[in-house]
Each structure stands twice: as C-alpha cells, then as structure tokens.
Structure 1
C-alpha cells in the first residue's frame, strides 16, 4: 500500500507539472495571436490631390505624408486602403478601417459617428466654372443652372442645403475626376470643391477651369476614428501631429505640395 501511494503521488505531481506547462504554453501562444499588432488600417480617397493621389505609381500627398510621419513618430504601422470618399465612414462602422482621412472636414453631422483629431488644415469650399466663363461670378448667378458635386462631401451637403435659396440643379458623382469632367465638357455649369484641392488641380494640371468668386465657407480637416471606440489611437494621432508641428516637419510637408 505504501509503495502504491508513493507511486500515485509521484504520478499526480508529474501530471500536474505537465498541465501547468501546457497552460503556460497556451497562454503565450494566445497572447501572441490576440495581442495588438500595432498596425492600423487607413482609408483614403486617392483622387484628391494635393492630399492624396497617385504619382508615378506611388501614393503621395499631404495626408499620406502626414499619417506616415505620425506613425513613425508614435511607433505604429499603417496599411492604406483606397476607396471612394463616401465609403470611408461606413467602412469604419463596419470595422474595416481604423482611421479615416481624405481631406475630411470636421462637421457636427460627422461627429455623431466619428471622433476627430485636432484640426490639421484650414480649408473652405469654393465655386468653380469652366475657364473663360463670365456668366457666373458667384453662387448668386446659379439660378436655373447645374452644380456637380462629389458624393459624401461637405460640398455636396452645402449644395443640398442651399439649393432652394439659389435655385440650381444638382448632379452627384463619385470622384473628383468625374466632377471636373462634368464642368470641363459642359455637362454642368459649376462644381463645388475644397479651395486648396481645386487651386492645386488647376495649377498643376491641364484642367480648363477657374475659381469663381470668394470662398463659400471655411472649415477644418481632421483625421477620424470610430466614435467612442479608439481613444488610445486618437491620442497617438494628436500627439504625433503636435510633435510634427513642433519639429517643423508639418510645415515641411505642406510646403512640399503647396509651396512656401
């Protein structure tokens, strides 16, 4: 009986140690697989120069340089996904994106769905017509005419909110290129676009367009995360942005695309 008891005790100890070793291994493996990978997915509209666009097969622009510099400063990695601007917030809601960019204006309506970073660019909407058009000098001249806008933008919202007052028709498209073409080929009389975007496009390309009148409003761009879901990431973005401004890197990026 004594020998059997000692052997049984030894066997129990061996099994217990084996079980402990197995638990430790499982815990280590689970932590490795389920831990924070430190890679964040960023959604952008790549037809939005100077903020994001393709150049010689490479994705470049103010937003691209900024988020890359912020990621480097804060020690995380990014995976950039290209999509229509109107799909960025829905993709965040679906859990497909961590960060939304693309010259996204900070608005009260969007704040119902996303949390914005500190502003990183002061913008504003402007009316754009075909070059040489002397019939339209401001939005007051748009009665009975057609405005083309890009889906999901503040320009589209401004056009809808003010349609009754100014009496124009609205055409919606999915990207900036199509919007520019609508005015360039005469299918629409004017478009509404963010001032820095259209000013850059007119200067850098062969667009036969002109800015008509003063800015329609003023707004700020921000980077966004899903509302109430990612405070830690939002802090990283804000801390990185502040660091870039302090170091001069922020001004360097803007000057690269907009000039001194």
Structure 2
C-alpha cells in the first residue's frame, strides 16, 4: 500500500532515468484515486513552473511530469513522511514543509526546486499541490535498508506486545480479522519491474505494521479505554509509527537509487 507520494517518488525517478515511460507513471497513480489534478499552490510556484495557480482550472499529472522534466531533466525524487516532532527529510521552514507535515506525506524534487503534496479534494479526486522549494536543505540522513528492516521487525514484535498489554483484542473483538480486512481494502501500489526485492519486502512489512497501528488506535474517545490508558497506548505506539515512516523512506530511497543507477 505505502502511499501515493511513495508511488510518485519511485516512478517519477525511474522515468527521469529512462527506466519507465510517462504513461507508466500515470498508470501507477491510478490505484490511489479515480482522478488526479495539479495546481501551483502559490505565486512563486506558478511563476517557476507555469502551472495553473490555485483558484484557476487545474491541469493534469502529465503536465506535472513535463514540468519536472523541464526543470530537472535527470533529477531524482525524495519521499518525505513528516509528522509533528519528526521532520526528517524536509527542506526547512516553508509552505511545502508545513503542508507535507499536515498531510503526512509529500515528494521533494530538489533538483527542480519544487515539492508536491497530494490531498483529496472530492470523492475520487486527488489534487497534487506544487510548492516552490528554492533551498532543498541538508542532505537527509541515510538509513541503510538492512537497519530499517531489522528495526521494523523489532517493532512488529513490539506492536504485538503492545496490543496484548493494552488488551485491545478484549476491547475490540475480531481485531485480527479487522487488520486483515484493512490490508485488503487499501490500494495496491504498483512498482517498476526493477524494484529491489528487499525494498518491496520492507514496504509490505510497513503496511502490515501500519494496519496493526490503526487497529490499536481504533477505540473512540469515551469508549472502552480510559483516558489514562489511551494516553499510555498512544505513547507506546508512537515509536512504532516512527519506525514505519523510517522504513518506508529507506525502502523508497533504495528503490530510487537502484532504478536510476541501471545503465540504459
């Protein structure tokens, strides 16, 4: 499942490197929404990209790809998955960083000087808002995929232990079936043929842990858990959510590295 930004980051990088066709990128985005459109989120982005400004009729993701190619013919994409208190990978203060943090995802095209953030605007429509990012910030920390996978496996065990300690299954009968159903309902991401197997495995594991987190956090306020227990549960699960984000970023970064390094 991963997220729409991960799909765009991998496929756009592969396309810029000559490892995919533009139609492949557009087809890969299809599972995330019936329709996608694109706008420049502010005047700076509109001037830089010539994309339509917010408040005017939007354009297509095909035009976004053309724009990226014009700005950085051989660039690469960086997946960002920020959360409050965890802004690793962001370029620094600015609208892109704020909106990506609010949404929980985004794609930075550092060589092109832009960042894009997806968000639903209507049933079946995702809008990609484009922001000018004149300073990409420092090089993001490198996390080896082996390290990310090892930590994620540890967090799988931690997630299971947290569910047991908090007795979520008692409060939520059928929670295991709920997790399996949640995974089946999520969009099935499409990946290029040259994706490294380990990156695919880590992305799958991240999806599984994410589904467990969703189940563990599923009690409504005023439900079976007391406020104190709910806070304790949130504190216990936060490191697991962080590990999921780290693993997804590491997997996508490794996929991009491999896809763009293959001789054409």
Q: TM-score range by the shorter chain?
A: under 0.3
Of Structure 1 and Structure 2, which has the larger fraction of its residues in strand?
A: 1
What TM-score, normalized to structure 1? 0.26
Larger Rg over CA atoms: 1
Of Structure 1 and Structure 2, which has the larger fraction of its residues in helix?
A: 2
